[in-house]
Amino acid sequence: MLTTALLSLALTTGHGMANAVPAYPAPDPDPFYAQTEAATGPVGTPISVRRAPDLPTFPGASFWQVSFRSTNSENNPIVAVTTVLVPANQQPDGPLLSYQHIVNALGSECAPSRTLYTSDPNKVFREAPVLNVALQRGWTIALPDHLGPNSAYGAARLGGQITLDGIRAVQKVPELRVASSPVGIAGYSGGGMATAWAAALAPTYAPEINLVGVAQGGVPMNIGKMANALGQDPHPAFGLAFAAAMGLEREYPSELPLSNELNAAGRAMEVQLTNACTNDILVAGAGRSARQVTDSIAMLTSPQAVSVMNANSVELYPGVPTAPIFEWHSPTDALIPVDSVLNTNARYCAAGATVESQLYPSPDHLTTAVLGLPDAFDYLQDRFDGKPAPSNC
């Protein structure tokens, strides 16, 4: 995810803090995504609703897009977007799944509402097969652009808020026929972060949502720990660390003015990644480290940087989900801090939560998603059917 060195650098060297300007993405040219004054009223209020083109990769499903009011991490109003897939066999108030797609990216073209409609191999949406299984079961599916209008990769709590506000908005659109639907949420890796945050926030942030089940896999529960793993030494996934540092500066510009602390190589990489999607981010950062993009890594533990990372780490959030949880990961996952997953599960169990945690041994982070998703969807089907949730706490 992000590198602690990059985040703390701007806060410990003191260079140009007041003048730091985050590298924001190019705004989406479609006025549907515009950050308008209509973003007023309660969070989760729909702003615009439109039919979107149907896709042959989702046979029989009709597509809708909903823009709605949410807030960013500084509690300022924003317009967010979710795409809704309605199955041909939908029953009124049947199951509603909010699926948080993996979006490791910094550009608006990388969001699910856009990647659904692209043939670019660097951006194409690859999860149609598993989502078609859910559609065949009669589930309506919401796919939120959970990084928000600034593609704030790394701002995990924001993703949870947008997920919940997207559900609220979808349930207020009469044409979608899900006003009283039982709701499930699911996601893996970056999508799992938004899902885990949504589950943890729901009891206090959105208690009116009838959240009956959660499926979260491969979740980076502590982004500070992940930062240290990816940022200190040359690493094949350093591009994700750098991208998340950029994303967090977009979301917390006054706390993390890191853009002024980059050296020439860092500034060139920042320009290269400002609107980039996952593949290009990985290529640009492969084998690099924080020391190569800054003149000094300075101290690694500034209070402001630690505060921001803690505020986006589910492991450290005191709230406990009340909906039953299916959690899955590989015990040998080299990308995420597995101990943080175990700590979070243990804390939830100690607080009385219902958690079924399953291991899918695999050395590859993404392979574990494929291995666990069928069981995750079966778990949610049982929750939609009203069956008692299992627990292996």
| Residue 329: closest CA among 295, 290, 372, 297 | 372
Report the percent of the chain where pLDDT is more than 70: 91
Helix (H) or strand (E) holding 141: strand 140-144
- Domains, the chain, in order of start with CATH, read 1-393 (3.40.50.1820)
pLDDT tens by residue, 246-263: 999 999 988 877 777 788
Inform me whether the pLDDT recorded for 11 exceeds 80.
Answer: no
Q: How confident is the model at residue 224 (pLDDT cuts 50, 70, 90)?
A: confident
Kindly report whether the global pTM for this prediction surpasses the value 0.85: yes
Angle at 307 between CA 265 and CA 249, to 5 degrees: 35
265: CB partners within 8 A, 6+ apart: 292, 293
The rounded distance, in Å, linking the Cα atoms of 235 and 318 is: 32
State residue 121's pLDDT score: 79
Inform me whether the pLDDT recorded for 18 exceeds 50.
Answer: no
Other Cβ atoms less than 10 A from the Cβ of 151: the count is 28
State residue 237's pLDDT score: 82
State residue 301's pLDDT score: 54
| Residue 237: closest CA among 83, 134, 366, 359 | 366
**Which of the two residues, 28 and 182, has the higher pLDDT score?**
182
Max CA-CA distance within the chain?
59
